[in-house]
Chains A and B, each alone.
Chain A
């Protein structure tokens, strides 16, 4: 017997109250854990994908759409820009690296990106097997594309027009010549082909000589100075638009952040409600427990020990609730991850711990201690002699 087992025996003696407190706390903690995991992983993933890209240049339209389509391959492209525009960017002294991408087609929902090997190298991806594409109609698969489709080096496929996978199929077949290593970036879910392939495919379909175009250019600055002048310089050109990923992601998280904040506030309310339920459970049980507390005094317990007993009871309750909440939050994240994976979105994993969870645990225990404080004080003040004289 010790303070914890004694406390636990009191908790077991009133299972409904205990279950209510545990349930409220577990749900509140689980919600916050889920937010921590999803938001944290999404932010990390987005930063990883945008690493080393200072500017996305493309056709006029929404800058966020340009960023979402050009870096994350989530939205539809804003349109195309002439190849000549890329050539002039290449000559710009503010620009260290400019990677042109030609978008527009997909295969089984995975986007086909016309790009040179410098695109893969930008993400530090080497080859898992095969080689990089050298001529038109050769393709390199991202690690996840290869794993999910089961197509490897030597395989053939035809791309579909449009990025949703529902468009008309093109006639030319691509030949897989290589598979990229897993990078944990957007690259894993892409099919990379020579930019010429995209031109060839669309030229054939259009049935006439199309003017050569690219969709976006990913730009890395030569110096910090470029940030001040380059976007303005580009935006001044009638057909071009420059979007800063850092600025646009911050804007995106500000927009999404409202929902996240609302959910977080809801979770905090749940945790506070759990604290209140712990308080009510302990406080209302004091009345029926006052004889027990008095008897404990006759058996040699000092008032501080009774205080400790009640405090530990609140802490045991919140610790169990918080641990259940942590487990539940990770289970939710895993379930969400499994669902997102089927939908071919960003993967979310529940098998990851974040430092914020320790703070959450500490905060929950704090709430429990606070809720137990007044009942514990009443227990401390038990007047043994009067209580026993009454019954």
Chain B
């Protein structure tokens, strides 16, 4: 699913990511571990095609991202990759349902209310469909963010620090949800975290 060779990325001349070799098979669940600033977020952005690395090669789902045109890469990301961001970043003036529909719309997929309802139900927030993000609890907002990432049934689900600012029970639930949602849509899962509590849920880990 993911194949990395000699990957390096620099910001303003300073190397922020060094990863010589990494292979992820389809359907695997990976944990990317490391302290803050070690390049976990950068790696996720490279995998998602949000940034083109300074050096090295990366192919995702058999596609060499560098060879794609910018717009093709955006299109590919919308349909193949789901991303749960650390700060969630739900669109505040759209309600929960519209936040999920936004993912369908921007990926140029059919706007499918049944799929949205199904996703929200699987995450236990079906009754919040008409609410604005500000009206939800932190845990509910995270479920919605996961829902927005999986609504398009991506091949690859990426999560950046999904347990930050959560207590132990909530952190465990968040990881369980990611695992079960990845399972449901048949996605490969890559979670980046510095949170040691998450470790026990994963077999494969990459230390940066």
Contacts and interface: CB of A to CB of B under 8 A. Distances in A.
Interface in B144-201: 148
B93 A10 contact: yes
Contacts, number: 79
A2 B70 contact: no
11 contacts: A1-B98, A6-B102, A292-B92, A299-B102, A299-B103, A300-B74, A300-B78, A302-B74, A304-B71, A385-B42, A388-B85
A391 interface: yes
B87 A302 contact: no
Contacts of B7: none
Interface string B56-98: 0000000000000011001101110001011101011110001
Contacts of B86: 388
Given A13-B93, A301-B106, A295 B74 contact: no
Interface string A360-391: 00000000000000000000000011001101
Interface string A276-315: 0000000000000001101111111111110000000000
B126 interface: no
Contacts of B78: 299-301
A2 B101 CA distance: 10
Given A13-B92, A300-B78, A302-B71, 17 more contacts: A1-B98, A9-B93, A291-B87, A292-B89, A294-B89, A296-B102, A297-B50, A299-B78, A300-B77, A300-B106, A301-B106, A302-B70, A303-B74, A384-B50, A385-B50, A388-B50, A389-B41
B16 to A, nearest CB: 9
B120 interface: no
B106 A305 contact: yes
B147 to A, nearest CB: 13
B191 to A, nearest CB: 16
B45, B74, B75 — most chain A CB neighbours (10 Å): B74
B204 interface: no
Top 5 A-B pairs, shortest CB-CB distance: A300-B78, A13-B93, A302-B74, A300-B107, A299-B106
A181 B106 CA distance: 64
A203 interface: no
A87 interface: no
B3 interface: no
| Chain A at the B interface: SS class | helix
B102 A298 contact: no
B18 interface: no
B22 interface: no
Nearest to B69: A302
B105 interface: yes
Nearest to A14: B93
Interface of B: 41-42, 45, 48, 50-51, 70-71, 74-75, 77-79, 83, 85-87, 89, 91-94, 98, 101-108, 111, 148
A12 interface: yes
Contacts of B103: 299-300
Interface residues of A, number: 26
Nearest to A296: B106
A186 to B, nearest CB: 58
A384 B92 CA distance: 18
Nearest to A295: B89
Contacts of A296: 102, 106
Contacts of B93: 9-10, 12-13
B71 to A, nearest CB: 5
A291 B133 CA distance: 15
Contacts of A10: 93
A27 B45 CA distance: 48
Contacts of B42: 385, 389
Contact of A295 (B41, B85, B104): B85
A13 B133 CA distance: 14
A388 B108 contact: no
Contact of A298 (B41, B79, B83): B83
Interface in A1-44: 1-2, 6, 9-10, 12-13
B46 to A, nearest CB: 9
A388 B104 CA distance: 21
Contacts of B75: 300, 302
Contact of B105 (A2, A294, A384, A385): A2
Nearest to B151: A299
B87 A391 contact: yes
A12 B95 CA distance: 13
A12 B92 CA distance: 12
Contacts of A302: 70-71, 74-75
Given A298-B77, A300-B78, A300-B108, A1 B102 contact: yes
A298 B87 contact: no
A304 B111 CA distance: 21
B105 A297 contact: no
A1 B89 contact: no
B91 A292 contact: yes
Contacts of B98: 1, 9
Contact of A303 (B41, B45, B70): B70
A298 B42 CA distance: 13
